Amino acid sequence: MSRKNTLLAAGLGFAIGYLLKEQLDEYKKLTPEKALQYAKETFQKNGPINGSWIYMKPEKLEKNGLIYDTYRGGISRNIDGDNKQYDFYVDIETGAIIDAKQIAS
């Protein structure tokens, strides 16, 4: 194989590999850590948070007739001297918070 053909094959292989990696990254599901990070960023828009947690195992959630693959987690924050707890569900595909509820204390 000539030097020109070798360089062409290497360049083509690199380009295909790069495009394939980009496509796979686009369809990659969220890790629980990343889902918690997104939830914390969203909750912090309304004030500081004291603590947070997330289950590592995905759960199914039905909301408005649709079924989502989600991670369930929680956030705590201090509002007017009271510690408030919130449960939330984060969509594994998009990172969007599907549901969030304050836990009665």
> In whole angstroms, what is the distance from residue 56 CA to residue 48 CA?
24
- Shared domain for 39 and 22, answered yes or no, is no
- Shared domain for 14 and 40, answered yes or no, is no
Tens digits of per-residue pLDDT, 32-89?
999 999 999 998 988 889 999 999 999 999 999 999 999 999 999 888 888 889 999 9
- Shared domain for 53 and 71, answered yes or no, is yes
Which stretch of DSSP H or E encloses residue 67? Answer: strand 66-79
This model's pTM is above 0.85? no
Look up the CATH number of the domain holding residue 35: 3.10.450.40
Average pLDDT over residues 9-27: 75
